[in-house]
């Protein structure tokens, strides 16, 4: 039985929450994922911070079979705490996804990413950078394996 490819996109940005920045990376991710066969069923914008990220991911992953992609908060800024909030929630880390996402731009800023990836129950969670090109580029680096990952966490036996 094939599963629906559903995704929830979370923008983590104090600036977006304050209305001083547009949610360009969230818009770009949602469009890119939709163009690649994923149904975007929810979009959220939350402030930077460990608690805001962890609470949002717990809520979004409850009874959800699919992908959750965050954008923002993966760098070295003082409020860039998305990986820390994500790690509090993950039941199993997926370092191969995070590594592939960093390696997609080996000579660029991808090397500064602290993004993580993993699973919570039947959700696959990946962090992407807050830049529009970085968010799309890094999710694109693992887009081919994400449907299979979602099938596996859903309990399917596709192979």
Q: What pLDDT does residue 104 have? A: 86
Query: 37 burial class (0-12, 13-18, 19+ CB within 10 angstroms)?
Result: exposed
**Average pLDDT per block of 10 residues along the chain, 159 residues long:** 87 97 98 98 98 98 98 94 98 96 78 92 97 95 97 84
72 CB burial (10 A radius; 0-12, 13-18, 19+) = buried
What pLDDT was estimated at residue 158?
Answer: 63
* Class of domain 7-153 as given by CATH: alpha beta
**pLDDT score of 2:** 67
What are the structural domain ranges in the chain?
7-153
């Amino acid at each position: 039985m094939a599963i629906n490819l559903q995704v929830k996109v979370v923008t983590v940005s104090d600036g977006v929450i304050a209305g001083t920045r547009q949610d360009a990376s969230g818009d770009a991710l949602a469009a890119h994922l939709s163009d690649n066969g994923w149904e975007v069923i929810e979009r959220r914008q939350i402030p930077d911070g460990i608690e805001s990220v962890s609470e949002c991911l717990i809520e979004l992953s409850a009874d959800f079979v699919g992908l959750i992609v965050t954008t923002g908060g993966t760098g070295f800024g003082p409020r860039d705490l998305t990986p820390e909030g994500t790690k509090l929630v993950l039941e199993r880390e997926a370092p191969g996804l995070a590594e592939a996402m960093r390696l997609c731009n080996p000579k660029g800023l991808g090397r500064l990413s602290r993004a993580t990836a993993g699973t919570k129950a039947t959700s696959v969670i990946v962090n992407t950078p807050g830049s529009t090109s970085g968010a799309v580029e890094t999710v694109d680096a693992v887009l081919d394996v994400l449907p299979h990952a979602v099938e596996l966490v859903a309990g399917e036996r596709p192979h």
